Structure 1
């Protein structure tokens, strides 16, 4: 024992680096694997959540975009939306109701994966900073984590959102596939066009993502405190997500209309340049309610369904993956 310690001291005085304790090495390795697994699980769960939610409401989403970007005297209503969906079905077939959904999937899978994963990471960072590691964040950091997650995802995937909007409002003869949209826009309108509407998107996603995540997390926290159950039932998660979607989309809807108008300006014959200029033109031609809030009632149907499905799918997938990991770990 004595000689061993003397040898260690002698080695240190000579400047040699002693090997780390094997238990510390294994502990660091385990934490690294745990962190990497958490990121992968969040990415996968988010991607699945986004794909399921958007596919479920794709016909309603396409109809909403058409109403947002087409200038007409017809006032939006559930009856008018139904007529548009029915005419589309008669003219182009049932599958045409999902036109542009492939572009939506190309965008929404990475968008949702990044957004949910970023939200988990921001929650961890802000929780560590404010001393709430592993707990529900206070209101302001909770709102901030959602806004930062949405902004991060939107910045990375914006050109794909532009492509989806173009495919949704044009006949299939104009753009044959996603790559064709990119090529034609780049050649005919320039690469900058792929980021047209970027500013209103960023301004809109801050309240939308912030309020959505904030509302969902707050309702789950309140439910756990009142019921004594840490995990809500699936239908409760859907209801919490629906409330989150309703608040988030209502707060950011006018900017969503502006974004769509700017994205599709090249194929609708308009020249929308700035956010304020686009808003003024919409209001002067169609009015505030009929212009900036056109299609909002459909969003009150589509939005809560999509967000409810998205949050529920993410949570349940996360729970399933953790259980599968525990089962595999126990089996070893």
Structure 2
């Protein structure tokens, strides 16, 4: 009889705890939604985050690519001169040249990357802060694999964007023109030119970026409790993540840009050796990194913050909680 009473008390206590947990989730706006709803909201939020971040830093991106593909020294003064000359010769909109190709690439890229990252965290068992603490390597792998998947599915669009960014409008007046002329002159496989250095670079870049951002959010949770970080705190976390991610993979970014925009057959080690011999390590393999330290943290900070805020907004909507 005593055991039955203890059992009933235990069950009642268990139900009470579960009910309290549900109340906490409901009051904090974190209702459980289906995985299909998570996928849809991640795709939408990822596209918005990627598009906004890339549009903001497009002029700096175009400037960086111009120096990456040429054997000319980089300095902020020279970068400023490039922007001014582009503006005087072709107008303000020239600073966003190639941004349509960027949007065509970055919207699906960011949508796929963020969605893949969420699903990979679920599959690898690193969704919660406790999981991330126990399995930091799995958390890093989730970010790296998300980058690999999104890069592989959208790479030709990245090549088209790079070529449009460094040529005059007369040569490539549209995204379709890039593909038509590239395939006609260099063959079908040319649309994946520079793919492998990009892939090798995105593994440390995406892994470091996602891992750093998620780790900083977890530390914030451990120190301040369950309250969400302020948007400005998210921006700072994203900026730090972007800074570390860009630095970890930058030489391979130089290689992929050279392979994407220059004719002829090239290898990763061939390009690395050529840049090293002719331009050196700092002025060659890390050319433009200081500019990346400006635009990278801005882009990644805006992207991560926008994704988190848009995701939360969408998942608080009754439409998606019942999806």
TM-score normalised by structure 2 residue count: 0.86
**1:230 deviation in Å?**
3.3
**1:140 deviation in Å?**
0.6
**1:36 deviation in Å?**
1.2
Partner of 1:126: 124
Give the Cα separation in 2 of the matches to 1:220 and 1:123: 15
Higher relative contact order (CA 8 A, sep 6+): 2
SS in 1 for 2:173: coil
Residues 4-45 of structure 1: CA deviation (Å, up to 9, x unaligned): xxxxxxxxxxxxxxxxxxxxxxxxxxxxx8221110000000
2:270 corresponds to which of 250, 268, 277: 277
SS in 1 for 2:317: helix
Give the Cα separation in 2 of the matches to 1:292 and 1:317: 36
Alpha carbons 2:45, 2:306 under 8 Å: kept: yes
**1:174 deviation in Å?**
0.3
Q: How does 1:248-287 map to 2 (within 5 A)?
A: 248-266=245-263, 271=264, 273-287=266-280
**1:325 deviation in Å?**
2.5
TM-score normalised by structure 1 residue count: 0.84
SS in 2 for 1:220: helix
Q: How does 1:1-332 map to 2 (within 5 A)?
A: 34-72=34-72, 75-127=73-125, 134-135=128-129, 136-137=131-132, 138-266=135-263, 271=264, 273-325=266-318
Rg (Cα) greater in structure: 1
**Between Structure 1 and Structure 2, how many residues are aligned?**
288
Residues 184-229 of structure 1: CA deviation (Å, up to 9, x unaligned): 0010111111111111011000000000000000000001111124
Give the Cα separation in 1 of the matches to 2:163 and 2:109: 18
Structure 2: which 5+ residue stretches go unaligned? 1-32
Task: Please list every run of at least 4 consecutive aligned residues from structure 1 whose deviation after the TM superposition is greater than 3 angstroms.
Answer: 132-136, 326-329
Give the Cα separation in 2 of the matches to 1:327 and 1:170: 44
SS in 2 for 1:64: helix
Give the Cα separation in 1 of the matches to 2:121 and 2:65: 33
Partner of 1:13: none
Cα 1:272/1:85, change in 2 over 3 Å: farther
**1:105 deviation in Å?**
0.2
Give the Cα separation in 2 of the matches to 1:314 and 1:133: 16
Structure 1: which 5+ residue stretches go unaligned? 1-32
Alpha carbons 2:238, 2:305 under 8 Å: kept: yes
Give the Cα separation in 2 of the matches to 1:284 and 1:309: 37
